[in-house]
Amino acid sequence: MQFKIVSLVVVALFYCVQANAQNMQKGKKIYETRCLACHQADGGGVPNMNAPLDAASNVVGKDIARLVRIIRYGYNERIALDGFYYSNAMTANPDLKDNELADLLTYIRNSWSNKASAITIAQVQAAKKKK
Amino acid sequence: MYKLSNFLLACVLALSVNAQENAGLKLPTGFSATLFADQIGTARHIAINDKGILFAKLNNVNKAGQSIVRMEDVNGDGIAEKISGWGKYGGTGIFIKGNQLYASSDDAVYLYQLDANGEVTNPTAPKTIIQNLHSRRQHASKSITLDPQGNIYVNIGAYSNACQEKDRSVGSKGMMPCPILDSAGGIWKFDGSKENQSYAQGKRYATGLRNVIGLDWNNKTNSLFVTQHGRDQLNTFYPTMYTDAQNADLPAETMYEMKEGDDAGWPYVYYDPFQKKKILSPEYGGDGKLEGGKNALDPLVAFPAHMAPMALLFYKGNQFPAKYKEGAFIAFHGSWNRAPLPQEGYFVAFVPFKNGKPSGEWEIFANGFAGADNNKSPRGAKARPCGLAEGPDGSLYVSDDSKGAIFKISFNK
């Protein structure tokens, strides 16, 4: 078990390189068709309603599994984020494939003022197991 | 030296802020504006008493621990010097009738007493007039107004976009009949003087309203007028029927005169301002052309889509030129659902009225709230108009719920 976790971390670190331009492009496409309507062109969200992604602590944070779950299964509770509350329901995206989720997460974690590690397919799959 | 330069810089900044003409607003000729207050918190609706003391209801408790803020301009320079407050609950609605001040949370309405000086006598012990109303996150805010008989009208917004089985989900059908309408998606009427009322003591006054935030009683017609927030995301859920550009313009934000028992048609129809028709919602089998809502009202005024009318006020004063008398001011919050097109509508609009009916096209009255060229998203807006109040001298006050500014607009004779 210990070994498994360590090796996962090593693999994750190995892939945590600069966001690849091709992945960013694919992620951007998905963002524009599925996310932008609510989260806005600048990732700023809508006060009280739709949570911002830009400069959002959980988006650039370490809990990748939670981000994967929210995008895949949606989110139907009032969410507290960085001192504010957001109330609209987040749509589920059950049809997004692991590689698409990875590209989308890579994009939102490296757009606007966000600068965080790229997300790999392995991380998305690991998040799925965690559920 | 460093301190002195900092001080000088602060002075220059302060001067430049004050020097901003009309508090940065664009107004019709002859009007001027001051920044009455700033940074007071998330100021939703506002109300003013006959002494000119302004009260704002905050959506969240502010840093000073207040959710109702009291503002007074003692020296008459258009800027409030005395600012205080109280209250531990967030909410939107606030309304003054005589010596009574009503304020709402997202599930209740409270009543405060004003004394002869216009001061609240029971800030920590209000009466609970209405309680246990649905507050299910979406469209939870409760706007309020009273009629001359003392009945209170409360908006209970639909906790849904279009009454789909699964809210805001691709391919999810609209529920038939929409089960939300029995306890939300309309205006409820209560007795403004009775304590501890809820659904059982109230009455569904009007239905088929997705979410009303702006409402006002019109003394001329002796009836209730409301502004509705139309549905979102036609293009997101029906990309083969609606383009991004069409979604940016559909459906209209609407104004209705609501008499008891009236139905505005949500969720079954939306109003298309180009076809000038009530169109069947795609969740209920519509295709963008099929009509519906035979028994639903047509709007009195159709405004551009998604601009979010937050407050409605019929102007009673004599300070503004004659054309404004009895007309309607509407505070628009500004859009978010026009994306990917630029967001718009961070302004206060005016609709002229004659004999209780709109007598001309709507126009922009006060603009410039969002700041220069920043319309990428609502976050970028400097101010978002939310509440309106008419002072005893006929000045118009506008609140902003993003940074907490209050603007005072006056006409210079």
Inter-residue contact A71 to A39 (CB < 8 Å): no
B135: tokens are: 């507050």
Closest by CA to B185, choosing from B169, B194, B170, B174, is: B174
Measured between CA atoms, how close is B194 to chain A, in angstroms? 31
Highest mean pLDDT among A15-29, B317-331, B339-353: B317-331
| Residues in chain B within 8 Å Cβ distance of A88 | 137-138, 168
Type of residue numbered B26: K
Helix (H) or strand (E) holding A70: helix A64-73
Whole-number average pLDDT of chain A = 87
Name the residue in chain B with its Cα closest to that of A50: B336
DSSP summary character for residue A89: P
Highest mean pLDDT among B8-17, B164-173, B282-291: B282-291
Domain-embedded: residue B30: yes
Task: Specify the pLDDT at position B26.
Answer: 96
**Backbone phi, then psi, for B14, in 5-degree steps?**
-60, -45
Cα dist. B173→A38, A90, B259, B263 in Å? 21, 17, 30, 21
3-class DSSP assignment, residue A19 = coil
Task: Specify the pLDDT at position A84.
Answer: 86
For B281, other C-beta atoms within 10 Å of its C-beta total 25
Domain-embedded: residue B65: yes
Domain-embedded: residue B5: no
Would the pLDDT of B17 be above 60? Answer: no
B90: tokens are: 């967030």
Residue B196 has, within 13 A of its CA and on its CB side, a CA count of 0
Q: Which residues in B372-394 are b (16+ Cβ under 10 Å) and which e? A: eeebbbbbbbbbbbbbbbbbeeb
Would the pLDDT of B280 be above 60? Answer: yes
Domain count, chain B: 1
Task: Specify the pLDDT at position B366.
Answer: 98
Inter-residue contact B160 to B180 (CB < 8 Å): yes
| Residues in chain B within 8 Å Cβ distance of A53 | none
β-bridge mates for residue B33, sequence order: B409
Type of residue numbered A54: D
Task: Specify the pLDDT at position A117.
Answer: 94
Distance CA B109, CA B188 (A): 12
Higher pLDDT, B237 or B150: B150
pLDDT band, residue B398 (cuts 50/70/90): very high
Inter-residue contact A52 to A36 (CB < 8 Å): no
- What is the per-residue pLDDT across B78-108, written as a single tens digit (0 to 9) for each? 999 999 999 999 999 999 999 999 999 999 9
Distance CA B406, CA B52 (A): 14
Q: What percent of chain B has pLDDT over 90?
A: 87
Measured between CA atoms, how close is B365 to chain A, in angstroms? 25
3-class DSSP assignment, residue A84 = strand
Higher pLDDT, B378 or A104: A104
B207: tokens are: 């239905």
Q: How far is CA A81 from the centre of its chain?
A: 15
Distance CA B260, CA B205 (A): 5
Q: Mean pLDDT lowest for which of A11-15, A102-106, B13-17, B394-398?
A: B13-17
Inter-residue contact A59 to A53 (CB < 8 Å): yes
| Residues in chain A within 8 Å Cβ distance of B401 | 47
| Residues in chain A within 8 Å Cβ distance of B233 | 37
Domain-embedded: residue B161: yes
Distance CA A2, CA A128 (A): 19
DSSP summary character for residue A50: B
Task: Specify the pLDDT at position A9.
Answer: 57
Task: Specify the pLDDT at position B105.
Answer: 98
Residue B233 in contact with partner chain A when CB distance is under 8 A: yes
User: Cβ–Cβ of B379/A37 closer than 8 Å?
Assistant: no
The predicted model gives A40-52 an average pLDDT of 92
Range of the domain at B103: 22-411
Closest by CA to A67, choosing from A117, A4, A5, A11, is: A117
Inter-residue contact B144 to B95 (CB < 8 Å): yes
Domain-embedded: residue B17: no
Distance CA B168, CA B188 (A): 26
Name the residue in chain B with its Cα closest to that of A83: B60
Name the residue in chain A with its Cα closest to that of B243: A33
Inter-residue contact B303 to B254 (CB < 8 Å): yes
Whole-number average pLDDT of chain B = 94
Residue B170 in contact with partner chain A when CB distance is under 8 A: yes
Closest by CA to B22, choosing from B383, B387, B328, is: B383
Sequence-distant (6+) residues with CB within 8 A of A26 are: A100, A103, A107
- What is the per-residue pLDDT across A49-99, written as a single tens digit (0 to 9) for each? 999 999 999 999 999 999 999 999 999 888 889 988 898 889 899 999 999
- What is the per-residue pLDDT across B189-216, written as a single tens digit (0 to 9) for each? 999 999 999 999 999 999 999 999 999 9
Distance CA B380, CA B339 (A): 14
Could you tell me the domains of chain A? 2-130 (1.10.760.10)
Please report the residues numbered 107 through 146 in chain B whose beta carbons come closer than 8 angstroms to any beta carbon of chain A.
137-138, 140
| Residues in chain A within 8 Å Cβ distance of B167 | 89
Distance CA B346, CA B31 (A): 19
Q: What is the CATH number of the domain that holds B108?
A: 2.120.10.30
HEC profile of chain B? CHHHHHHHHHHHHHHHHHHCHHHHCECCCCEEEEEEECCCCCEEEEEECCCCCEEEEECCCCCCCCCEEEEECCCCCCCCCEEEEECCCCCCCEEEECCEEEEECCCCEEEEEECCCCCECCCCCCEEEECCCCCCCCCCCCCEEECCCCEEEEEECCCCCCCECCCCCCCCCECCCCHHHHCCCEEEEEECCCCCECCCCCEEEEECCCCEEEEEEECCCCEEEEEECCCCCHHHHCCCCCCHHHHHHCCCEEEEEECCCCECCCCCEEEECCCCEEEECHHHCCCCCCECCCCCCCCCEEECCCCCEEEEEECCCCCCCHHHCCCEEEEECCCCCCCCCCCCCCCEEEECEECCEECCCCEEEEECCCCCCCCCCHHHCCCCEEEEEECCCCCEEEEECCCCCEEEEEECC
